Amino acid sequence: MNGASGAMGLVGKDRRFVLMLAGSLLALIVLVVIFAPAEQENDPRPTTYNAGSAGAKAAYLMLQGLGYRAERWEAPIAGLRELDAEHTTLVLADPTVGYRETGEVRADLAAFLAEGGRVLVTGAAGASLVEGGGVKKATSVSRELCVTTPEGQGRLASVGELSMPDFGGWDETNIKARVEQRCGNDAVVVRLPVGKGEVVWWSSSMPLSNQGLKQDASLKLLLLSVGSKDRRILFDEGLEGYATPLWETAKGLPLWALWLQAGVVGLLLVLSYSRRSGPVRAPVFVARSSPLEFAESMGHLYQKAGATAVATGGARLRLLRFLHERCGVPQATVRSLPDEVAEAVEARMGGSWHGLSEDLAQAARAEEGRPVAPKSALALVRRLDQDLKQISLHRMKRSKGEGTE
C-alpha cells in the first residue's frame, strides 16, 4: 500500500510539473505575440503606423515637422460632415472598402467635397469612391515602375518626372478631370474639381510612401497635393469602420449549432476531468459480522420460512419478562390468560389495559400454529413493543409519585 501511495504521489507531481510547464509556455507565447515588434518591412499597407518601405509614417511625421497640422483620422468618413471642409484635406491611400459600403462612402466624400474639402486618393479602389471616377487597364509594358511625363502647365505637372508604378490609368471619359502626369498613354496623376472642392488622384501611393519620399519630385507632389499649411491634413486610418463587421460576415453560418457543439464538448471535458481527478474512495462493503448484516440475514430466513410466529412469540415473551422482572407481576400470573395479565397490570399501574389483553391473545394464537400474514405479524410486534413502552412509562411515573410522597 505504501509503495502504491508513493507511486500515485509521484504521478501527481509529474502531472503538476507538466501543467505548470505548459502554462508557462502559453503565457510566454501570448507575451511575445502582444509585445514583440511587428514585422513591418513586408507590410504593403500605406498606413501611417507602418514604418516599412510601403508605409506612410515618414510622410505623416514629415508634414508635422514642416508645420502642417497632420493628424490621423480613425473615425468613419461620415464624420467629415462635421468638420471645416474648406480648410481640411483628407488623404485616402489605397483605401479598402466593402462593396456594399462603397455607395455610402462615395456619398460622404461628395458631401465633403461639395463644402470645399480636398481629397488626395490613390489606387483603383480610391478612384471608385469618386463620383464619375474609374480606372482602365494599364497599357504600359512594365507595370512595376515607370518614369512619368508631365502634361500641361498645372501645378502637379510642375514637379517634373516621377517614378511611379502603372497599375492602370484614369478613365478619361470624365471630361472634367485634368491630367497632370502620364505613364505612356495612361493618366496616373489627375485633378478633378467636385463642387467647391477638389480631388487629386494618383494611380499608386508610392510617392507618399517611406521609400518614395526619397525622391524630390515625390515630396513636391505630396506637398502640392495636400494644399497649404493652413489646412488640416487627415490621414485616414478608419475606413475599417465602413468595412463589413465581423458579425455581418458571420451571417448565414450555423452559429447556434457551433455554440451548442462547443458547449457539449466543454461539458464533456469538465465531466471527464472531474471524474478522473475526483477523490478516490473505497467502495462501502458491510461486514458479515456486523449487527445489521446479522439482522438482515435472520429476517431473510424468517421470511423464507414464513416463521411469523417466532417474531410475535419473541415480542410476547419480552413483554411478559418485563412484567415479571421489572413490574413485580408474579410468575404464575404472567403464565395465565391474557385477561388476568391485563387485570394484574391495571391493579398495579391503574388505567385500562384492554388493548394489552387483545395483543397478548393474538400473539398466543399465533404461537399455537394459526397462520398470520407477515404484515399482520409486523403490526402485532409493533403493538406489543408499544405496550411495553407504555407500561415502562407508567412504572416511571408511579415511582416518581411514590418518591415525592
The better pLDDT of the pair 313, 279 is held by 313
For the chain, where do the domains classified as CATH 3.40.50.880 start and end?
57-243
3-state SS record for 227-274: CCCCCEEEEECCHHHCCCCHHHHCCCCCHHHHHHHHHHHHHHHHHHHH
Mean pLDDT for the stretch of residues 128-135: 85
Q: Which three cell numbers stand for residue 305?
A: 420460512
First to last CA, the chain: 67
Q: Quote the pLDDT of residue 311.
A: 81
Q: What is the CATH number of domain 57-243?
A: 3.40.50.880
| Alpha carbons within 13 A on the beta-carbon side of 329 | 25
Per-residue pLDDT band for 197 (boundaries 50, 70, 90) equals very high
Where would I find the H helices in 278-307? 291-305
Mean pLDDT for the stretch of residues 70-92: 90
User: To 10 degrees, what angle do helices 338-349 and 374-404 make?
Assistant: 30
Encode pLDDT of 154-181 as tens digits: 899 999 998 888 888 888 887 788 999 9
Other CB atoms within 10 A of residue 184 CB: 15
Report how far Cα 399 is from the mean position of its chain's Cα atoms: 74
DSSP 8-class letter at 137: P
b vs e for 138-156, b when ≥16 Cβ sit within 10 Å of the residue's Cβ?
Answer: bebeebeebebebeeebeb
Tell me the backbone φ, ψ of residue 142, rounded to 5 degrees.
-110, 125
Q: What pTM did the predictor assign?
A: 0.52
Mean pLDDT for the stretch of residues 280-288: 65
CB distance 108 to 81 below 8 Å: yes
Encode pLDDT of 293-302 as tens digits: 777 777 777 7
Helix (H) or strand (E) holding 73: strand 69-73
Other CB atoms within 10 A of residue 68 CB: 20
Encode pLDDT of 291-336 as tens digits: 777 777 777 777 777 778 888 888 889 989 998 888 888 988 888 9
